[in-house]
Amino acid sequence: MQFELTREYIQNLASLVEAKDTEQILTIFNSLHPADIADILEELSHDEARYIFFRLNPTLASKTLAELEDDKIERFIQVIPTNILASELIEKMDSDDAVDVLQNIPKHIASEILTNFTDKEYQHEIANLLDYNENSAGGLMATELIRVNINWDVRTCLNEIRRLSKEVENIMLAYVVDDKNILQGTLPITQLIINHEKVKIQDIYQKDVIAVHTQTPSEEVALIMEKYDLFVMPVVDGINRLKGRITLDDVLDVVREEADKDYQLISGITQDIESSDNIFRQSKARLPWLFIGLIGGIFGSRIIGSFEGLIQEYSGLALFLPLLAAMGGNVGVQSSAIIVQSIANGTIGLESISQKIFKEFLGGLLNGLVCSSILFLYNVLFGRDFALTISVSAALFSIVLFASVFGTFVPLFLHKIKIDPALATGPFITTINDITGGLIYFTTARIIFGYL
Amino acid sequence: MQFELTREYIQNLASLVEAKDTEQILTIFNSLHPADIADILEELSHDEARYIFFRLNPTLASKTLAELEDDKIERFIQVIPTNILASELIEKMDSDDAVDVLQNIPKHIASEILTNFTDKEYQHEIANLLDYNENSAGGLMATELIRVNINWDVRTCLNEIRRLSKEVENIMLAYVVDDKNILQGTLPITQLIINHEKVKIQDIYQKDVIAVHTQTPSEEVALIMEKYDLFVMPVVDGINRLKGRITLDDVLDVVREEADKDYQLISGITQDIESSDNIFRQSKARLPWLFIGLIGGIFGSRIIGSFEGLIQEYSGLALFLPLLAAMGGNVGVQSSAIIVQSIANGTIGLESISQKIFKEFLGGLLNGLVCSSILFLYNVLFGRDFALTISVSAALFSIVLFASVFGTFVPLFLHKIKIDPALATGPFITTINDITGGLIYFTTARIIFGYL
């Protein structure tokens, strides 16, 4: 039932383009969903994609443009005259899609397109929307909605829907406002069907409405719509005037992007990349964390270097160096991940920072005890030198404890000073733990070898 | 505008419960959203939560039960007689919520509740739904929907909506079927408002409808609804009979859970835990990967042990051991994360496995060259022994290359044999790279120190 993109399909299209068989190409594309067309264009070469794009009818081309990945839009924008872009493509989009496209192209081109809009009212609307922060409710909302006055009756509302039904997609409810556009409540469309034409809106509308401010951050918008299972939510300004509405599909994108970002941060990737991106783009996103790891490792080597005498005397100490570093890294990443994830999902709970750290300290005691006991048993069974056995187990215990507390503290601290706590996961925590791990290990060993 | 939960709020409630001030408690709770009530109950002690829950009116209690976290439902279920649970609470839920609750409690209790349903038709419906896999479209769908016959006119459809409007929430469209319940298309509610009462459905319905099979996996359902921006999607059986509908809020949960799972896997956590979970639950989720890391580290120590003579002779080699292990781990996790994420988002593209691995090999060459050059420069500048300098840089280069290719291959391979590729991220990749890193390093060093 769904469209499936295969390599054969792409090869077939490429040869149709080469043969310039426009008729055949249009037959194929006119029956496809714009989201599928966008997928196809992204797999074709620049020239092939452009050949097809320019032959689509304007409505389909406009919808396809709105579906393209942010970083793929520019290759079409650049080669189309701005007046055509404005009147034929961008102006036909829903306001939130139009804003999305304009935000993802160079500012001077966006301005030029905007100046070329033929519908001046829509032009002002889009210009206003572009003023909102991209990551706020204002940046997410669309202005297309059904607005009804609280003094109207059902009949007037139905007429309003008839008037706007072509402009507004996915109509589930109407927004009830007073004469000053102050949001009063909502009215599910089904209420208009159930009730008689003469019934007054004020007698049937729902007063309790969950709305957000234009400046509410996107992630908070997502958490609210998710929590209350809303498909659509109104956006208001400081004096509760209705500004727009956010639909759940946009929030789904926010959740996906946020999750992707956190996942990439924990895996040491600094920019949003995909496996299909080219090598240089990938390296650019990967090298910064590798570089930090390298610096951390060099620091670590200097710390270990200051214990070189100890290593020369007891070379067995070197054997457990990677194990201890890895365990510290693993524990630290686990701890920070739990906190980062709970903050992102709004499930952080009401415990204070010190309560959380104390809890993690207890958890670290437990995990440290289990892990160091296993390592102790292993070393005893395999007849390692007793001082080494004691040193390694004691160091592991201390490292697990330190990494637990440190991994919990850093993201909580970052969150408190309003820096994205996800920055504290992955390579950062691993690197710090590598360095402190070495220090803890050899200090412990020096003490123990000194005494025994 | 939104409800905000604070520690003071919880303390205040707890003292109201202690004073058994039921009237005050009900005044508070009757004005709250069920999702907020669920949040509050989760922060209270068992006894306090139960005291409040049992005093809520059945409708509110039923909605609250549907909003509780999966693992918190049992503490209420256990102490309520099953006949009351059935007729007063579960039976009042939407079919997808009822199924969700029944799936998250012990099987024998669920059966007992189901037997006690008073509405026998609903009982059969729920029993049927429970037969679907929890992670499939059948397990996600609700059966409450507006079904209209293709031979009806607008007037009959409007009557059908009037009849069902209390039962079905969030009505955006009606599903058009033939006499045999075979799905024919959809009809947006606005069409019923725009068109005259006598207009035939067959003249105004939308034929192109994207539907999924009852057995389509949840993640695929999510990708489809996301791609085509659907708020609601029909579910059909093998012969295209309409079985139910999936709404976007349920898909949002799937996306969130999937993202959480991947995030926890990469950070070395085996079960869904939150920062508010107790220490033992957290340790249980954390120890398995730590244990694997420990075993890997012990293996690694044995490999390094076989080079102990080399270390005794050139103790400087030990200094760079953690650096090399960490870099291998970082690079491997980056590579696997890119693949895992692209698979999860459906952005994996059409390149074959060998193309992807070759590309990653080239990327590894680039990253390896950059990183090992930096390390080389550092060691030259700080006047390290030349053989050591060469050994460390050559090893780093080889390790980055190996980790890139290995980190790409493993998740692609797991995906191919239909195992969740996210398993291959985080501690698993790190551990393997730790072991091979040591081997590569000392082998390189032995060769170079042998020659120089």
For helices A321-345 and B279-305, what crossing angle results, to 10°?
150
pLDDT one-digit tens code per residue, B166-175: 888 888 899 9
- Would residue B65 count as lying in a domain? yes
Question: Rounded CA gap, A285 and B337, in Å?
Answer: 13
Q: What is the DSSP string of B116-143?
A: T-S-HHHHHHHHHHHTS-TTBHHHH-BS
Question: Rounded CA gap, A232 and B91, in Å?
Answer: 27
Which residues on chain B are in Cβ contact (under 8 Å) with A305?
Answer: 316, 319
Question: Rounded CA gap, A16 and A26, in Å?
Answer: 11
Claim to verify: residue A84 and residue A171 sit in the same structural domain: no
The SS3 assignment for A230 reads coil
Question: Rounded CA gap, B98 and B63, in Å?
Answer: 10
What is the pLDDT, as a whole number, of residue A434?
86
Element (H, E) at A152: none
- Max mean pLDDT range (A100-104, B3-7, B396-400): B396-400
What is the pLDDT, as a whole number, of residue B2?
66
Question: Rounded CA gap, B368 and A27, in Å?
Answer: 48
Tell me the mean pLDDT in the region B19-31: 91
Question: Rounded CA gap, B339 and B336, in Å?
Answer: 5
Claim to verify: residue A221 and residue A191 sit in the same structural domain: yes
Confidence tier at A383 by pLDDT (50, 70, 90)? confident
> In this structure, what token pair is assigned to residue B29?
């709770």
Tell which of B187, B216, B267 to mutate to test the A interface (max A CBs under 10 Å).
Answer: B267
Q: Do B256 and A255 touch (CB under 8 A)?
A: yes
Q: Do B319 and A308 touch (CB under 8 A)?
A: yes
> In this structure, what token pair is assigned to residue A158?
């139905």
Q: Do B263 and A260 touch (CB under 8 A)?
A: no
Which residues on chain A are in Cβ contact (under 8 Å) with B296?
Answer: 323, 326
Task: Work out the number of other CB atoms within 10 angstroms of the CB of residue A365.
Answer: 16
Contact A393, A372 (CB under 8 A): yes
- CA A81 to chain B, closest CA, distance in angstroms equals 29
Nearest to A98 by CA among A81, A80, A84, A86: A86
Residue of B nearest to A6 (CA): B350
- CA B398 to chain A, closest CA, distance in angstroms equals 15
Residue of B nearest to A285 (CA): B334
Q: What is the DSSP string of B350-365?
A: S--HHHHHHHHHHHHH
Contact B427, B338 (CB under 8 A): no
What is the pLDDT, as a whole number, of residue A112?
92
Q: Do B267 and A333 touch (CB under 8 A)?
A: yes
Claim to verify: residue B78 and residue B181 sit in the same structural domain: no
Nearest to A188 by CA among B147, B170, B161: B170
Nearest to A349 among B190, B275, B431 (CB): B275
Claim to verify: residue A79 and residue A166 sit in the same structural domain: no
Cβ neighbours of residue A129 closer than 8 Å, sequence gap 6 or more: A95, A96, A99, A138, A139, A141, A143, A244
Q: Do B345 and A283 touch (CB under 8 A)?
A: no
Is the pLDDT at A1 greater than 60, yes or no?
A: no
Which residues on chain A are in Cβ contact (under 8 Å) with B279?
Answer: 359, 362-363, 366
The domain total for chain A is 3
Alpha carbon separation from B160 to A82, A199, B195, B209 (Å, rounded): 49, 20, 16, 21
Give the torsion sign (CA, A153, A155, A160, A164).
Answer: positive
Nearest to B2 among A210, A263, A431 (CB): A210
pLDDT one-digit tens code per residue, A16-45: 999 999 999 999 999 899 999 999 998 898
The SS3 assignment for B78 reads coil
Helices and strands per DSSP (H, E), number in chain B: 22, 6
Which residues on chain B are in Cβ contact (under 8 Å) with A188?
Answer: 171
User: How far is C-alpha A428 from the chain's CA centre?
Assistant: 20
Looking up residue B151, the CATH number of its domain turns out to be: 3.10.580.10
Tell which of A241, A315, A380 to mutate to test the B interface (max B CBs under 10 Å).
Answer: A315
Nearest to B248 among A192, A249, A260 (CB): A249
Q: Do A289 and B330 touch (CB under 8 A)?
A: yes
Confidence tier at B349 by pLDDT (50, 70, 90)? confident
> In this structure, what token pair is assigned to residue A361?
């300290």
Is the pLDDT at B147 greater than 90, yes or no?
A: yes
Residue of B nearest to A163 (CA): B194
Is the pLDDT at B158 greater than 90, yes or no?
A: yes
Contact B335, A290 (CB under 8 A): no
- Would residue B271 count as lying in a domain? no
Question: Rounded CA gap, B254 and A256, in Å?
Answer: 11
Residue ending a domain, among A228, A248, A268, is: A248
Contact A141, A245 (CB under 8 A): yes
- CA B388 to chain A, closest CA, distance in angstroms equals 13
- Would residue B405 count as lying in a domain? yes
pLDDT one-digit tens code per residue, A262-277: 999 888 888 888 888 8
Question: Rounded CA gap, B439 and A322, in Å?
Answer: 12
- CA B108 to chain A, closest CA, distance in angstroms equals 30
pLDDT one-digit tens code per residue, B205-236: 999 899 999 999 999 999 999 999 999 999 99
Per cent of chain B over pLDDT 90 is: 66
Confidence tier at B452 by pLDDT (50, 70, 90)? low
What is the pLDDT, as a whole number, of residue A2?
66
pLDDT one-digit tens code per residue, A165-184: 888 888 889 999 999 999 99
- Would residue B421 count as lying in a domain? yes
**Which region holds residue B340: left if phi is over 0, alpha if psi is between -120 and 50, else beta?**
alpha
Question: Rounded CA gap, B237 and B215, in Å?
Answer: 8
> One-letter amino acid identity for B319?
L
Which residues on chain B are in Cβ contact (under 8 Å) with A311?
Answer: 311, 315, 318
Tell me the mean pLDDT in the region A332-358: 88
Residue of B nearest to A191 (CA): B165
Is the pLDDT at B186 greater than 80, yes or no?
A: yes
What is the pLDDT, as a whole number, of residue B347?
80
Tell me the mean pLDDT in the region B280-293: 90
Contact B387, B228 (CB under 8 A): no
Q: Which residues pair with B217 in a beta bridge?
A: B136
Nearest to A327 among B297, B316, B333 (CB): B297
Nearest to A40 by CA among A3, A79, A87: A3
Element (H, E) at B69: none
- Would residue B116 count as lying in a domain? yes
Q: Containing domain of residue B336, as a range?
A: 279-451
Mean pLDDT lowest for which of A386-400, B161-175, B177-191? B161-175
Claim to verify: residue B295 and residue B442 sit in the same structural domain: yes
Claim to verify: residue B316 and residue B422 sit in the same structural domain: yes
Q: Do A341 and B188 touch (CB under 8 A)?
A: no
- CA B23 to chain A, closest CA, distance in angstroms equals 22
More confident residue, B231 or A79: B231
Claim to verify: residue B191 and residue B245 sit in the same structural domain: yes
Residue of A nearest to B273 (CA): A338
Claim to verify: residue B251 and residue B289 sit in the same structural domain: no
Q: Do A319 and B333 touch (CB under 8 A)?
A: no
User: How far is C-alpha A229 from the chain's CA centre?
Assistant: 20
Name the DSSP class of B183. Answer: E
What is the pLDDT, as a whole number, of residue A73?
86
Confidence tier at A102 by pLDDT (50, 70, 90)? very high
Q: Do A342 and B276 touch (CB under 8 A)?
A: yes
What is the pLDDT, as a whole number, of residue A431?
87
- CA A150 to chain B, closest CA, distance in angstroms equals 20
Tell me the mean pLDDT in the region B34-49: 91
Nearest to A427 by CA among A257, A258, A270: A270
Claim to verify: residue B49 and residue B126 sit in the same structural domain: yes
Element (H, E) at B212: strand B212-213
Residue of A nearest to B286 (CA): A334
Q: Do A274 and B345 touch (CB under 8 A)?
A: yes
Q: Do B342 and A274 touch (CB under 8 A)?
A: yes
Is the pLDDT at B1 greater than 70, yes or no?
A: no
Tell me the mean pLDDT in the region A420-449: 88
B333-342: burial string, b at 16+ Cβ within 10 Å, e else:
bbbbbbbbbb
Which residues on chain A are in Cβ contact (under 8 Å) with B231?
Answer: 170, 172, 231, 247-249
A305-329: burial string, b at 16+ Cβ within 10 Å, e else:
bebeebbbebbbbbbbbbbbbbbbb
Residue ending a domain, among B221, B256, B291, is: B256
Nearest to A275 among B311, B348, B434 (CB): B348
- Would residue A140 count as lying in a domain? no
Claim to verify: residue B66 and residue B167 sit in the same structural domain: no
What is the pLDDT, as a whole number, of residue A351?
82
Residue of B nearest to A359 (CA): B279
Residue ending a domain, among A248, A270, A302, is: A248
Mean pLDDT lowest for which of A32-36, A334-338, A430-434, B358-362? A430-434
Nearest to A62 by CA among A41, A93, A17: A93
Average pLDDT, chain B: 91
Q: Which residues pair with A232 in a beta bridge?
A: A247
Name the DSSP class of B195. Answer: S
- Would residue B141 count as lying in a domain? no
pLDDT one-digit tens code per residue, A206-261: 998 999 999 999 999 999 999 999 999 999 999 999 999 999 999 999 999 899 99
Looking up residue A381, the CATH number of its domain turns out to be: 1.10.357.20
Claim to verify: residue A299 and residue A428 sit in the same structural domain: yes
What is the pLDDT, as a whole number, of residue A4?
82
- CA B436 to chain A, closest CA, distance in angstroms equals 12
Looking up residue A21, the CATH number of its domain turns out to be: 1.25.60.10
Claim to verify: residue B212 and residue B313 sit in the same structural domain: no
- CA B112 to chain A, closest CA, distance in angstroms equals 29
- CA B79 to chain A, closest CA, distance in angstroms equals 25
Question: Rounded CA gap, B209 and B100, in Å?
Answer: 27
Question: Rounded CA gap, A231 and A225, in Å?
Answer: 7
Nearest to A228 among B10, B33, B427 (CB): B33
Question: Rounded CA gap, A407 and A360, in Å?
Answer: 9
- Would residue A142 count as lying in a domain? no
- How many contacts (CB atoms, under 8 Å) link A and B? 383
Nearest to B315 among A282, A312, A342 (CB): A312
Per cent of chain A over pLDDT 90 is: 66
Question: Rounded CA gap, B389 and B381, in Å?
Answer: 10
Question: Rounded CA gap, A211 and B305, in Å?
Answer: 64
- CA A88 to chain B, closest CA, distance in angstroms equals 22
Which residues on chain B are in Cβ contact (under 8 Å) with A299?
Answer: none
Q: Do B430 and A259 touch (CB under 8 A)?
A: no
- CA B347 to chain A, closest CA, distance in angstroms equals 7
Q: Do A327 and B293 touch (CB under 8 A)?
A: yes
Which residues on chain B are in Cβ contact (under 8 Å) with A256?
Answer: 226, 255, 259, 345
